[in-house]
Amino acid sequence: MESSPLDAFGQDPLWIIIVKTLLVFLVLVLLTLFNIWFERRVVARMQHRIGPNVNGPFGLLQSLADGAKLMFKEDIIPKAADKVVFLLAPLIIVVPAFVTFAVIPFGPEVNLFGTITPLQLTDMPVAVLFVMAIASIGIYGIVLAGWSSGSTYSLLGGLRSSAQMISYEVSMGLSLIAVFLYAGSMSTSEIVEAQDTFWFGLILFPSFVVYVISMVGETNRAPFDLPEAEGELVGGFHTEYSGMKFAMFFLAEYINMATVSALATTLFLGGWKAPWGVEHLWAGANEGYWPLLWFFGKMFFFIFMFIWLRGTLPRLRYDQFMALGWKVLIPFSLGWVVVVAVVRAAALDGGFDRQTMMIGIGVLVACLLVFMFLPAGKEKPGSGQVREIDEGPSTFPVPPMPAAGAVRGAAAPLTFLGQGDDDRTVRTTSTPTVAEEEIR
């Protein structure tokens, strides 16, 4: 009977588990400090600025200085806030962000302080579902932060975030089903082992694209940072927070960025395994601690993509963003899962070879894309025309167009735009009242 990568877990002594837990915590904290500096430097370069370059070499200690500043800032709690929930909300967001890294594989089995152990805290047969479940708990923290603040802006930001994250978790989960079908497992270590020949990001490219779009929406990052839209909601769900509690929201955001990037690396880019060709040129590329280099290199590729999007794309309108999730990503993911399931079942039954399978997948994906992006049907004649009526409900007064030919000083009729019974635009004209004459 072949041994499974899962057999290596559950054998570590308690002190090794504690050491690995502390190492994961330390890596995530340092990674957050580095990512904040990295983002500021990259965006500054894109905008022809310098960025942080004073504190420490190349400004590397700037994030540490900012964290110390937030730690000693005055802690303000609004009078209208629910104090207990207001204080607990940042913790509810931060704790799941750390826990999700427990099942991420950083490398193979290594010698750690004289003990042979895998470079992974733990693993389980449903490890990916564990990540999705723990990550969804963070939504409660955002919703409770917005609700407990006693602020309309915060409440709207929390409601936006709950709708956004739940919607994009659906498309994210659907994009992972194809990976489970090909790997035959939901264990992260077994999924990495299943990508010895081909990365799933290539043979399941549509799933990879859907996951990348969904992970940006899931982490509330630009251009999908609508719960924190400063143009409308000041700061969104964390408007009323200050000091260290405000810093915890940022800590959770950057750890979540690292989490979804690490998950994308594990599920689609071969995890900690070396890129193609490297293992043939160097026999020890996938042994010892060298796989850490490949893992973090792939993860930083996704983090750079997050920063690139933030520096280049404008924020979407909220209805467009939700329509992208419900009307494009989710239907496409459902259709793609059916295609992968059929192809996988036929391949396992010996119906056709790999080349035929790849050609069939390409044709089906092309058909799906053509169907999704077909232009909408033509409007019925007259559906977009404006019709004139004499009476009707008035809504918002609109000044007459210059072509109306109104005589200077004369009382021109006001124009009102409203909605007719058949949802078509209605223009209503009426004679100005005495009050309107005075306004003129």
Is the distance from CB of 105 to CB of 123 less than 8 angstroms? Answer: yes
Cβ atoms 90, 248 nearer than 8 A = yes
**pLDDT at 319 (0 to 100):** 86
**Geometric angle at alpha carbon 122, from 118 and 125, rounded to 5°:** 110
61: in domain: yes
Does residue 401 share a domain with residue 351?
no
Q: Does residue 362 sit in the same domain as residue 391?
A: no
Domain count, the chain: 2
Same domain, 230 and 132: yes
381 in any annotated domain: no
Find out whether 81 and 147 touch, Cβ atoms under 8 Å.
Answer: no
The single residue listed with the structure tokens 């223009």 is: 427
Residues 426 and 281 in one domain: no
pLDDT of residue 3: 66
Q: Kindly tell me the burial class for residue 384, based on how many C-beta atoms sit within 10 Å of its own C-beta (0-12, 13-18, 19 or more).
A: exposed
CA 313 from chain centre, in angstroms, equals 15
The predicted structure's pLDDT at residue 424? 46
pTM, two decimal places: 0.78
Q: What is the pLDDT of residue 130?
A: 92
Residues 349 and 433 in one domain: no
pLDDT for position 81: 85
Q: Where are the alpha helices (H) located in 111-242, listed in sequence order?
A: 127-148, 152-183, 188-193, 200-203, 205-218, 230-233
Same domain, 414 and 330: no
pLDDT in tens, the chain (440 residues): 456 778 778 888 899 999 999 999 999 999 999 999 999 999 999 989 988 888 888 889 998 898 888 888 888 888 888 889 888 998 998 998 899 999 999 988 888 888 888 989 989 899 999 998 998 888 888 888 888 888 888 888 888 888 888 888 899 999 999 999 989 889 999 999 998 888 999 889 999 999 999 999 888 887 888 777 776 777 778 888 888 888 888 888 899 999 999 999 999 998 899 888 787 777 778 888 889 999 999 999 999 999 999 888 888 888 888 899 889 999 999 988 988 888 888 777 666 666 666 676 677 677 767 766 666 555 455 444 444 444 445 555 666 666 654 445 444 444 444 444 444 444 444 444 444 444 44
- CA–CA dist 300, 265 (Å, integer): 10
Residue 26: inside a domain, yes or no? yes
The whole-angstrom separation of Cα 33 and Cα 60 is 8
Residues 6+ apart with CB under 8 A from 213: 171, 324, 329
User: CB burial class (10 A; 0-12, 13-18, 19+) of residue 83?
Assistant: exposed
Query: Nearest Cα to 336, choosing from 303, 295, 368, 383?
Result: 368
Which residue is associated with the tokens 């309309």? 152
Does residue 126 form part of some domain?
yes
The verdict on residue 380 lying in a domain is no
Q: Is residue 77 part of a domain?
A: yes
Residues 328 and 407 in one domain: no
- Residues of the domain holding 342: 8-372
Q: For the beta carbon of residue 124, count every other beta carbon within 10 angstroms.
A: 17
Q: Which of 317, 347, 372 is a domain's end point?
A: 372
Distance CA 140, CA 34 (A): 27
DSSP per position, 153-187: HHHHHHHHHHHHHHHHHHHHHHHHHHHHHHHS---
Same-domain pairing of 412 and 345: no
